[in-house]
Amino acid sequence: MRATAARDRVVRDVEERVTGDGFIADVLVSALNARVEVQTYSADNPAAMASALEKRAAKAGVDKVFVKARESHREALEDAGMSTEAEIEGYFDGRPAVVLSRFLSEERRRQSAVQEQEEILTAICRGAPDPSLEPLPKGYLLVRARPRDAVDLAELYRKVFRSYPFPIDDPAYILSTMHTNVVYRIVRDSRGALVAAASADVDAGYRNAEMTDFATLPEQRGTGLAQHLLAALEDDMEDLGIPNLYTIARARSAGMNRVFHNRGYSRTGTLVNNCHIAGRFEDMHVWCKRLPGCGEATDSPIE
């Protein structure tokens, strides 16, 4: 689960605790993403939490609230005005999470590319998943990223994304996540240049991981690097005993959604205008997978 780390951004994200009658919620208030995201919570009174989060969003001048909630809280949160957008299978150590949102403006609720996104999904899902991997290009090397790679990683993300929900263009941020809960995989070409990367954001307590931060230089696309990265991260998660995997992929990215379909992930919903990425607000598809025969969790996902 990402935090902003100690970083001054052009637009600062704020971590805070919202409390009230029967609930505690640790949230991230993001001006860049114009949303309040619940990171963790406990609630005997989910309806009171939903009301307080809406007020916090209005005070911050943002127009979306979203929470990954327990199934047992779905009805109360929907009755309080939140809408279910997706589910994440196995999120709570094998039990599902329900992703609910509250939109504070009609503009934020309105999808701008529904037909395009449906056509992309139809084309992708028409075929059976194909997890096979072509060999990496000659001289290319796929490895686990180390602290010495942080500067190159930040530069790659800076080149690929005009904007991103988290400050992955900052080496200090990458280092902070690398030393806590994020596993990075990278591909270097025959000259040693970093050309592609991805990560797994691990929640060891709930034994889930978000497969995220996929980036490939434009001139390297079409060579299957993203699917290699995903396969390697899945192997890492199996080694760590993290069986419940999910991703939140840009709905207009045919390539990334195809990668997850091919690796056997199931689409479980769409988050509308969920975050600011690549220069605009994007709908995000949720895809989930459980690794069969995954071993017991280790004490820490990071070496």
Instruction: Give the span between the Cα atoms of 286 and 256, in whole angstroms.
Output: 12
Quote the pLDDT of residue 2.
66
Distance separating the N- and C-terminal Cα atoms of the chain: 18
Quote the pLDDT of residue 12.
65
Pairing of strands 208-216, 244-250: parallel
Look up residue 257 and give its two tokens.
Answer: 């959604």
Q: pLDDT tens per residue, the chain (303 residues)?
A: 665 443 344 456 899 999 999 999 999 999 999 999 999 999 999 999 999 999 999 999 999 999 999 999 999 999 999 999 999 999 999 999 999 999 999 999 999 899 999 999 999 999 999 999 999 999 999 999 999 999 999 999 999 999 899 899 999 999 999 999 999 999 999 999 999 999 999 999 999 999 999 999 999 998 999 999 999 999 999 999 999 999 999 999 999 999 999 999 999 999 999 999 988 999 999 999 999 977 554 444 444
Quote the pLDDT of residue 98.
98
Task: Assess contact for 99 and 87: CB atoms under 8 A.
Answer: yes
Quote the pLDDT of residue 297.
47
Runs of H (alpha helix) within the chain: 46-60, 74-79, 106-109, 114-125, 150-160, 171-178, 225-240, 254-262
Look up residue 234 and give its two tokens.
Answer: 């899945």
